[in-house]
Amino acid sequence: MSIADNIKSLKKETGLNKVTLLAVSKTKPATDLQEAYDAGQRLFGENTVQELVEKYEQLPKDIEWHLIGHLQSNKVKYIAPFISMIQSVDSLKLLHEINKQAEKAGRIIDCLLQIYIADEETKFGLGFDEAIELLRSEEFAQLNNVRIRGLMGIATNTDNEKQINEEYYELKMFFDGIKQSYFRKMDSFDTLSMGMSSDYKLAIEQGSNMVRLGSTIFGSRIIKHWKNN
């Protein structure tokens, strides 16, 4: 199967479920992204600022770029002028910086709060309590150049489907609760980003409306031993 074939069949599958397909293109060359683009894909996700900026410069300007990896505050300025969504917001401090750079760029930047759901030490994200604390804070209320569109979560990397189902179920329940409590009148709080190549079918069953697929589209990545991704 070619990249174009994968895009077409995955778009069909996710479309039937009203789920948005984010193509995760990290480590892949721009030619691979172009092939996906030519097959109709417009949403791409990268996990580092450097790679994202490089590809942004090389590829068509109607691509919507999502950052899905851990973001350091000092790098926000490089993506603020063009990024469509930052899915990996994991602190109020980072949100502050995004707000500041968005203001400079004359934009409002869409963000997801990354929620920690995995049974692993290595994953970034806010705990349920921390997310609530952030949303209730006075500081948050004053950030006018960021818009929280929803939540993102990464399940434990395991073959245990029951565990994955439980983690995604919890995140969906939390999403519904947060929407009721803090975004009741805001239609823009609409995105629940959960599901990767290995578990996206489970995620969709549990209520995901955005899946982030890399290897299913582009083939497996060469493992870089100096990084987790």
Ligand X SMILES: *Cc1c(COP(=O)(O)O)cnc(C)c1O
Q: Which is nearer to ligand X, 22 or 143 (CB)?
A: 22
The answer to whether 204 and 19 are in contact (CB under 8 A) is yes
The answer to whether 155 and 194 are in contact (CB under 8 A) is yes
Q: Measure the CA–CA gap between 28 and 218, rounded to whole angstroms.
A: 8
DSSP conformation class of 150: E
20 binds ligand X (CB under 6 A): no
Q: Which is nearer to ligand X, 24 or 131 (CB)?
A: 24
Stretch that binds ligand X, among 99-107, 129-137, 179-187, 196-204 (CB under 6 A): 196-204
Q: Measure the CA–CA gap between 66 and 173, rounded to whole angstroms.
A: 24
For the CA atoms of 116, 162, 25, 9, the dihedral, rounded to the nearest 10 degrees, stands at -140
Q: Which of 76, 94, 196, 202 binds ligand X (CB under 6 A)?
A: 196
Sites for ligand X among residues 128-157 (CB under 6 A)? 154
Stretch that binds ligand X, among 124-132, 139-147, 171-179, 193-201 (CB under 6 A): 193-201
Q: Which is nearer to ligand X, 172 or 212 (CB)?
A: 212
Q: Measure the CA–CA gap between 88 and 195, rounded to whole angstroms.
A: 14
32-51 burial code (b ≥16 CB/10 A, e <16): bbebbbebebebbbbbbbee
Q: Which is nearer to ligand X, 109 or 154 (CB)?
A: 154
**Residue length, the chain?**
229
Count interface residues toward ligand X (CB under 6 A).
Answer: 15
26 binds ligand X (CB under 6 A): yes
State the minimum distance, in angstroms, from the CB of residue 69 to ligand X: 6
Q: Measure the CA–CA gap between 217 and 32, rounded to whole angstroms.
A: 10
Q: How many beta carbons lie within 10 A of that of residue 192, not counting itself?
A: 26
Taking CB atoms, the residue at the shortest distance from ligand X is: 214
State the minimum distance, in angstroms, from the CB of residue 87 to ligand X: 7
Sites for ligand X among residues 33-92 (CB under 6 A)? 47, 68-69
Stretch that binds ligand X, among 1-9, 53-61, 162-170, 191-199 (CB under 6 A): 191-199
The continuous run of DSSP H or E covering 79 comes out as helix 76-79
125 binds ligand X (CB under 6 A): no
Q: Provide the binding-site residues for ligand X, judged by CB under 6 A.
A: 24, 26, 47, 68-69, 154, 196-198, 212-216, 229
